[in-house]
Structure 1
Amino acid sequence: MSLAQWRQFNFFDKQVVPDPNDAKVSPTIFKKCDIGVMTAGLDKAFKAQTFLAYDGGRITHLKLLKQKNILITIGEENDTQHTPVIKVWDLDTTKKPVTTPTTPDEPTLIQPSCLRTIKIQHNEKPFPITTFATVENMAQMAVGLANGTVLLYRLDLLKDKATKPKVIYEGQEPITGLGFREQTKSTILFMVTTTSIMSYNTTASKPSVVSTVTLDEQGCGLGCAVMTDTQDMVIGRDEAVYLYDPTGRGPCFAYDTPKSSLVWFKSHYLMIISPPVITSTQLSTSTSRTTIGAGSSSSSSNNKNNRGTTHDLTKVTIFDTANKFVAYVGTFTGGIRGVFCEWNALWVVGLDGKLYRLDEKDTPTKLEILFKLNLYVLAINLAHMQKYDDASIADIFKKYGDHLYSRANYDGAIDQYIRTIGQLEPSYVIRKFLDAQRIYNLTNYLQELHAKGLANADHTTLLLNCYTKLKDVSRLDQFIKTDADLNFDLETAINVCRQAGYYEHAVYLAKKFKEHDLYLDIVIEDMRDYDTAIEYIRHLGPHEADKNLQKYSKTLLGHQPDQTTKLLVELCTGTLPMGSSTDTTNGHITPIVTAVASPTPSLKNSTALAHLPFAAEGTTSPQSTHHHPHHHDRTTSKSGLGYNPPSPRTFMPFFVDRPDCLAFFLERILETRWSSTSTTKLSLQAQEERKATWNTLLELYLMDEQPHPTTSTSPATSPRLNGIALTPREKLKRTKEFKLKALALLKDETVQYDTNQALVLCQLKKFDEGIVYLYEKTEMYTDILRFWMEKQETDRVIEGVRKYGPKDPSLYPMVLTYFSSTPEILAKSTSELLSVLRHIDEKDLLPPIQVIQALSRSNVATIGLLRSYIGRKIQNERNELQQNQELIQSYREETDKRRKEIEDLKTSARIFQVQKCTGCEGMLDLPAIHFLCRHSYHQRCMGENDNECPQCATQHRMISEIRRAQETSADRHDLFFDQLDNEDDGFSVIADYFSKNTMAFAKLID
């Protein structure tokens, strides 16, 4: 695009600068610029200071350094050859004014210090200087001559007194432009002639390095080469403007018009000054021609030949090269002497001595102009260049977006609104695009809002609803599967995907960010993929698995009973892996089995779009992909439990519909967790847990109906095994197996179940073997026989009385009563009845009266059954009576004998005729000791303290101890009653006490 085609604005204000002392005229200093030997400087008040630079010559070039107050002048000496001389002036070390002005218009004459004076000669011949350039630190300066030679001065021109220039270029065409480009490791000098453009590396030291490089085979005229702030060379030719860097030609701007000079202003403005054009006020059309100077002879010739007044008009155009528009176009009457940049403005000096100032409009004014023209892109670029803050730039983007929105350019508008994120309230944009039903554009905006981390839960909900409305699964995947930090509300995103029927995306998020509760809720409640749920729980670790199984066990047992039961066994036995982070999918969503998913989301899911002003019909969800879950290999630690397993009782209620699985669950718990653990090693709580587990397992074994696993997902209406109905024989066989297990459990000595509870269960479930075993275990023999009697199991009664009768004689009366209860039983058990009677008789277990009473409780038993028993008992009684009478007679005779002996001892003398010593059996001699028991001893055979017969002493002491014991026990009534209670024949105990005269002692003590 050429410069002529750029948009044109008037961003500069042109005004004639008046003289401070006379507002009607321009400053007088600019009318006297023809004084070549003097140089002058101005301040903002146009107070002039002058000094004599050259004696008799003219000044051709001036340059004031930017970083130092150093002025460089090039002038001609007043000699015959007009040798050009370079002088360097230090304006900071000026001497006191030489003269003081007497009038306001008179300048002040000063005398600055001249630091250096350098005569410019080539081949000892002076040539006019066409252009020169220097670096800011004055380390190098290049001088271009009219003969096509370029001289380079090195080192610090402010310090070195003698500097010999180096000829770095000699050509045939005059030098029209010079400029330095300071780089990090080198300094490049641009050299421009009328026919070529070259660069020279002034810091190259190696001869092998080619220092001069031709950049272009075309040059430019004098004054049409200028350096930019970035140290690129700008070349102006009639057809275009070119930029050059050390590598060659850069950007090019087509501007087909003659150019007399170029000026670079600030960082991006290029002023192009065209040659003067002569115009006549009496011509209908302006006749123009290009002139070299305002006062040329050709111009004078034409003025004489034309009628009317003619003017020289010089056109000035200012281009904004950064934003590519024309910032100013103006004409100046009378031609232009020069242009300089100072005090943030452009100053134009006319040939007529007038001074013009071009002031750039302030940025707000320029922006308002652009806003009125709807040129928002230029306004934004301009604001960026002026370092506007983000809020101000965002306001421009908002205006630009509003403009595009009003023209129904929604795509462009949303792009601008996106750039306001962080500054503009999102609700402003959302309302616009909701009203317009531009969901696609709104989606882009919300997506960027999330990308910058400025979205809230409502924005996340709206974005996901937009995705689902647009059925844009790819963008939904991209949004959800981003690996960057979470920049949206996770729970909201999961819930919206779930409500809209995008279950796969919901579970992806839940799994990735370890929202275990949400993941399982979706997989189980919505997708019904129970296998995946079970595998997921298995890898959560004991704590999370416990928490989630408390919530979902009943559902999982209803659909996957076997896998769920195994998982519960692992958890409660301490063999569940300690847990590792569940694998998250990278790049794709793991396919999940959806048992009841439909191609389109449920109508109730459309409520997620209810707040949007559009209908939700036709919304479809992605098809679910069937997937078979992988079973991971797991190893169980053999070093013991890695965690404290939860109580099995907390999971028992979940098996209410699956008692078969509960039985398997409890069996594995008891087998794995408590099989080898002794009771002493368990805490009281653990013992209670184990006892409750055994009790529950026993109850399961004794259930009337044993349900079986089913492959159906709905509750089975009849017991099934692997989906096949069991036959009656199979059912009976399975019931017997459980009965055997129950009995084995009851008989297991290591099992510490609750006996009372077990007995109640066996009675409720009519488990005869269990009831009998528990009665026997608790020594309730009477209940055993009574149990069999109630069932009229005579054989079992007979077996029981044989087995338990010796342990409990009270069973016999009960058995006799039972045998004689009915004729049928009596007929069946007559032989056993007689056998029982013989056994009672032989063991003397019951007195005859009890036998007769037991048999006489019914009219079934006859006297004939008891004839032999009664006969034997009467005969035995008679024999016993005879024996007792004989014993009594012997006791009486012995008693009479003892009484007579006592009486003799009391009334008659005892004659001792013993001749031998009872102790040594030697002949008895005096002294001798005689006892009434008729034993005699030598005195020497007796001990000093012996007062009784040594031979009868033992018997006497025994009698004394018996008597002493009787006296002691006479007051121990508790011993008497204990013995009375423990003996079967209480009368014998009383008789024994009387026989030992204990009662007499008791009476004597009382």
Structure 2
Amino acid sequence: MHSSAIMETTRRFHFFDKHLVNVIQPGHGSLNFETVVDAAGDDAYLWILESSGRVSALYRSDGTGASRDTLLCQSLKAFEFEGLRIFSCWDASAVIIVGKDEESDLMLKFNTYKVSPQHGGDNVELLHFVQSVPLFLPSHGFDLDHIQAITVSTCTNMAVVATDNGSLYVYYNYLSPTPDGTSSSHTLIPVSVSELAGGRHVGVIRSLHIHNLSSGNFGLTVCCDEVVLTLSLLPVPELADLHLIESSFESSCDLGKGGHFAVSKSGGMLDIYNAEGSIISRLKGEGQCTSMCAYKGYIATASVDCKAGLDASFATTLVAVHSRIPGMDFIAYSQHIPVVFKFEVALGSIYVLARSGTSSSLILFELREKGIHDRLQMLIRKRLFEWAIATATLENRPLSECEEIHKIHANWLYDKGRYEAAVEAYCRAGSAVEPAFVIARFTPLNSKLYLYKYLINLHRRRKATSIHTIVLMRALQSLFEDSSSSIPTREDSEEQHEDKSEDTTDVPDCQELMSVFLEEFGESEKDGIREALYDCRSSGGSDFARAIALAQHNHDEYIDILVEDFHDYGATLKYMESSSSQVTCNAILRHGRRLVRHNPGAILHFIRKISESMPKHHGSVLEAFVPVFCMEDRFLIDMLGADIPNTSLMIFSTRLHLILEQYAAQLRRNGGSTNEQQTAGSIISVENPDIRRSSVPSLSFDTSDVNSVQTSLSSSTHQSTSEDGTVFAEALEDQMWKLLNNNTQLAEYQLIALLLCLVYNYQRGANAMAIKMGYYHLPLVLAGMRDNDIHSNKFDLLNHALSYGYNEPTLWVGTLSLLVSSTNDTSDLLRIALQHIHTHKLLSFPSVLSIIQRNSALKFGDVKDYLRREFRKIDDLLRECERDIAQDKVDCNQMNRDLQRLQHSYVVINNTNCSRCELCLEMPSLHFYCQHSFHTYCIGSDGLCPKCAPIANEGVDGLEPQKGSEHHDNFFKFLSGATDPFVYMTQQLEWFAFSQL
């Protein structure tokens, strides 16, 4: 036997109301029931069986406004002689009645009736007789008085009869026919309880209960005076469990479809068994139990209460309704009423069948359960919140109502200072409580553990926002700071020990709390955590932010905190050494300028390591780092070494910028000894690199790469100071030209190079890039800005004009304008330029005159030769024009004579065929002075001779092929009328060939 603790019932409530029920038979008034022997119930009916064999079905009226205290009745005669037991088999919609027929007093029968789905009215027959089978025959040796108990399954497939000699008779498929009407095999199995109990004395069988096992088999509970047996019936009865009864048996009842049952024993004990026969709980009853019944989560018991010396007519029964829910040990109802002989659950309530004193008339009471809200209010007023929540759950109340109870419970716990339990209740309250309200209540407390517990529950319920994540991180920060604080002194520990409030609980393991939160929500709440880290860092919680970033493996955030908050560059470089290339790259991009001042060699080592790890087809990664170190010229020079190819515009422009800056600085050091140096010294608004380099702190290198950088820097510095400045400038210029010649094939490279050369006033490079880009006037503009450049050997003005004047015709205009407007002596260059212009006819004479007139101080001797040649050329042109005029006059006279001759002479035309189609001429016909004749439709709309006009017009109009539909018609017409079709087609092909040419 499984032992369990006895639950002492100390609380009493009034969850039920007692109502006296009035039974009315439609058309006959109220009814009284005499000698009631049994009752059964289901959701639709309460069945009353009288000893006379009459069965009454009590039901509620379907009409609106009907009182619940009144039941309607419909009766029928089930047995002619006597009725004993009635069973409601609701799974089969049937009623089984056990009684004696008129044939023999010693023969019991099972009468099976089918229940009609409709009730009410005289025209509706409620019960339909199905069959009647004998319980047993006298030949079996059974006597009527020997039957102790009978039970029938709710599906009518199983029935069990117990006798006083300790035997069980199991009937299978006996009480109702099969649904299809075919015969089924009936089974009768006799079983000895003593044999099943192993020869143990069991006493008299007192009650039987059939239930369904989880395996699908039927189970049978046999309650005897001294033992409780649990049997498995199919295929043959077998003992599943056996429990001894320490005292004597009083009563028992089923507890529902789960197969649980309760047994009342002497001494007021109520034991609750599961379907396997094990005791799962024990209740304290109210005395000797005569009847008991299960309803929902309750057990109703009836205890006889007859005082000694009083007549039996004054006896009463104590009716008590016990809660059988584990952990809720209370009495839901308790009252003395007349003698109760049976409870029955029907029509959704508990009905009490009682008699008053010695009368045999039935008194029917209904124990009607109060509304759920009334019961919950009772429990809440008694501060039994857990019971109230359990009751609401059992009643399947909406989740909102359960959460509201949790909220009331949480507020009460918080007011009592029980914060640990309060936060758990707030977590269960769900949507009934606003998160802001709970946060406001727990924020003022010294310990933020309660706030953390609520907020992490909010995250687990997917109800948290980014604001809640920030608040949770603040709570963790407070716990982290508490755990990181110094150990309290002995006096402080004693004071904390004396404080009983839960607000001074020990500081929990913050690392564990952080791990739990980050493990569950590190990915889903990544944005909220990032915002929380920014908030922590801004409020001085850098230590906590660093711990979170490290626990979350957020390498970028961890490096940001080390550099920006702690300025621990050494630890940052050490962490970067063990990190991936991506993390190292991101760190350099964000904090490269700070880290390079601490250890430039290490940064250079990281950059080279990243570059080596990248695939070659991705190009150089150095262009990503160039903007980071744009103000660190020394580092850029070392990073963009000679072995780094110019694979991108960024690297090319940076390298050219560095060389130009070095070149301009070197020219300034040389003191402007040459004209190019003087011009380079006047750079437009360019920051002095010496000043910039002087602001950079001294660099210390630790690795091998750093030593090489230091060696190269020191050697270059020694070289620049020891060698001649001019030689070094020439070397820089050669390097610069090599860079320009090898990497300026694309337009964007040319443009960048041109702009850099203009910024650093390097005219030679600017001229070269301008010529490459087709900006041929730009060198002239640059030369015009400095007159001394016109005489410079580095820029040959005339050679430039002669070389590129054919691409840009207006280039000579600019060249001549520059020579004329120059304040220096440009006489020789001007004469040579004018000679080229005249010889090659580069500019017109008026254009040259307009340019020359701009300089009033120009000497005549500089342009004398050019003017003489031009005037001579004009004179020759005038003479040629006079000769042409004279010839034109002669030609005009000849033409006038020819016209006169044509007007006064005739021409004999003897043509008989058309000169085009060669068909016979028809009147009218056209004749030309060129001796050609045509049909009127063989000439064009221009009225010219088709033979001579193409020759006169050089074949432009006359040789075009005929087009359109009319041309096609003419072709076939001429072809059919031609004397020689082959000749005609040859002629058309010639015209077509000429037109294509």
| Fold agreement, TM-score > 0.5 | yes
TM range, normalised to the smaller chain?
0.5 to 0.7
Match runs of 1:52-67 below 5 Å: 52-56=77-81, 58-67=82-91
1:784-809 Cα deviation digits (max 9, x unpaired): xxxxxxxxxxxxxxxxxxxx9xxxxx
1:648-704 Cα deviation digits (max 9, x unpaired): 76345320xxx43232123x2x42213xx8xxxx98x88656533532455688897
Instruction: Please state if 1:322 is matched with 2:325.
Output: yes
Instruction: Please state if 1:665 is matched with 2:668.
Output: no
Instruction: Please state if 1:245 is matched with 2:294.
Output: no
Residue type of the alignment partner of 2:392: A
Change (3 A) 1:644 1:227: closer
Instruction: Please state if 1:40 is matched with 2:56.
Output: yes
Instruction: Please state if 1:695 is matched with 2:660.
Output: yes
Q: Which runs of 5+ in 2 are unaligned?
A: 38-49, 61-69, 178-182, 195-201, 357-361, 484-509, 670-687, 742-752, 763-792, 794-834, 842-863, 865-871, 881-997
Structure 2 Cα separation of the partners of residues 263 and 453 of structure 1:
48
Instruction: Please state if 1:178 is matched with 2:208.
Output: yes
1:47 Cα deviation after fit: 3.6
Structure 1 Cα separation of the partners of residues 386 and 447 of structure 2:
24
Residue type of the alignment partner of 1:118: P
Structure 2 Cα separation of the partners of residues 66 and 385 of structure 1:
23
Structure 2 Cα separation of the partners of residues 693 and 518 of structure 1:
34
Question: SS of the counterpart of 2:114?
Answer: strand
1:338 Cα deviation after fit: 2.0
Find 2:75's aligned residue among 21, 30, 50: 50
1:12-33 Cα deviation digits (max 9, x unpaired): 00122235599xx984135766
Q: When the two structures are superposed, what TM-score results if normalisation uses the length of structure 2?
A: 0.57
1:701-733 Cα deviation digits (max 9, x unpaired): 8897999999x9993499999899999999756
Aligned position for 2:223: 192
Instruction: Please state if 1:481 is matched with 2:518.
Output: yes
Residue type of the alignment partner of 2:93: N
1:23-80 Cα deviation digits (max 9, x unpaired): xx98413576664332222222544333333333x32211111223311112234577
Structure 1 Cα separation of the partners of residues 463 and 288 of structure 2:
54
Aligned position for 2:155: 137
Residue type of the alignment partner of 1:180: I
Aligned position for 1:440: 449
Structure 2 Cα separation of the partners of residues 759 and 161 of structure 1:
113
Question: SS of the counterpart of 1:165?
Answer: strand
Change (3 A) 1:737 1:8: farther
1:315 Cα deviation after fit: 1.0
Change (3 A) 1:507 1:452: farther
1:571-593 Cα deviation digits (max 9, x unpaired): xxxx846xxxxxxxxxxxxxxxx
Aligned position for 1:216: 243
Residues 698 and 758 of structure 1 are in contact (CA less than 8 Å); yes or no, is this contact kept in structure 2?
no
Residue type of the alignment partner of 1:124: G
Identical amino acids, percent of aligned pairs? 15
Aligned position for 1:351: 355
Aligned position for 1:168: 191
Residues 87 and 152 of structure 2 are in contact (CA less than 8 Å); yes or no, is this contact kept in structure 1?
no
Match runs of 1:477-626 below 5 Å: 477-478=514-515, 481-484=518-521, 485-487=523-525, 489-499=528-538, 501-503=540-542, 506-507=545-546, 518-530=557-569, 551-567=590-606, 570=608, 576=610
Question: SS of the counterpart of 1:231?
Answer: coil
Instruction: Please state if 1:146 is matched with 2:164.
Output: yes
Question: SS of the counterpart of 1:653?
Answer: coil
1:425 Cα deviation after fit: 0.5
Residues 215 and 247 of structure 1 are in contact (CA less than 8 Å); yes or no, is this contact kept in structure 2?
no
Aligned position for 1:284: none
Change (3 A) 1:479 1:468: same
1:237-284 Cα deviation digits (max 9, x unpaired): 12422223354422231426544344343332111221x2223xxxxx
Q: When the two structures are superposed, what TM-score results if normalisation uses the length of structure 1?
A: 0.57
Residues 11 and 366 of structure 1 are in contact (CA less than 8 Å); yes or no, is this contact kept in structure 2?
yes
Change (3 A) 1:371 1:213: closer
Find 2:92's aligned residue among 68, 92, 98: 68
Instruction: Please state if 1:89 is matched with 2:63.
Output: no
Question: SS of the counterpart of 1:404?
Answer: helix
1:355 Cα deviation after fit: 1.5
Residue type of the alignment partner of 1:116: S
Question: SS of the counterpart of 1:41?
Answer: strand
Structure 1 Cα separation of the partners of residues 347 and 33 of structure 2:
18
Residues 16 and 26 of structure 1 are in contact (CA less than 8 Å); yes or no, is this contact kept in structure 2?
no
Q: Which runs of 5+ in 1 are unaligned?
A: 101-107, 280-286, 288-301, 578-633, 764-803, 805-969, 977-989, 991-997
Residues 394 and 423 of structure 1 are in contact (CA less than 8 Å); yes or no, is this contact kept in structure 2?
yes
Structure 2 Cα separation of the partners of residues 504 and 673 of structure 1:
44
Residues 311 and 333 of structure 1 are in contact (CA less than 8 Å); yes or no, is this contact kept in structure 2?
no
1:11 Cα deviation after fit: 0.3
Residues 22 and 30 of structure 2 are in contact (CA less than 8 Å); yes or no, is this contact kept in structure 1?
yes
Question: SS of the counterpart of 2:296?
Answer: coil
Find 2:623's aligned residue among 630, 646, 649: 646
Which of the two has higher C-alpha Rg?
1
Structure 2 Cα separation of the partners of residues 410 and 431 of structure 1:
14
Aligned position for 2:9: 5
Question: SS of the counterpart of 1:230?
Answer: coil
Change (3 A) 1:762 1:660: farther
Change (3 A) 1:87 1:554: same
Aligned position for 2:966: none
1:351 Cα deviation after fit: 1.5
Structure 2 Cα separation of the partners of residues 110 and 757 of structure 1:
110
Aligned position for 1:340: 344
1:369 Cα deviation after fit: 1.0
Residues 343 and 351 of structure 2 are in contact (CA less than 8 Å); yes or no, is this contact kept in structure 1?
yes
Change (3 A) 1:529 1:454: farther
Aligned length: 668
Structure 2 Cα separation of the partners of residues 556 and 85 of structure 1:
103
Residues 26 and 354 of structure 1 are in contact (CA less than 8 Å); yes or no, is this contact kept in structure 2?
no
1:396 Cα deviation after fit: 0.6
Question: SS of the counterpart of 1:5?
Answer: coil
1:100-158 Cα deviation digits (max 9, x unpaired): 9xxxxxxx998741423223258422244322223332222212222221111112631
Structure 2 Cα separation of the partners of residues 759 and 19 of structure 1:
116
Residues 514 and 548 of structure 2 are in contact (CA less than 8 Å); yes or no, is this contact kept in structure 1?
no
Change (3 A) 1:716 1:154: same
1:337 Cα deviation after fit: 2.7
Aligned position for 2:738: 750
Change (3 A) 1:672 1:401: same
1:738-783 Cα deviation digits (max 9, x unpaired): 97876544445734388999999999xxxxxxxxxxxxxxxxxxxx
1:561 Cα deviation after fit: 1.7
Aligned position for 2:418: 409
1:877-906 Cα deviation digits (max 9, x unpaired): xxxxxxxxxxxxxxxxxxxxxxxxxxxxxx
Residues 410 and 441 of structure 1 are in contact (CA less than 8 Å); yes or no, is this contact kept in structure 2?
yes
Match runs of 1:413-432 below 5 Å: 413-432=422-441
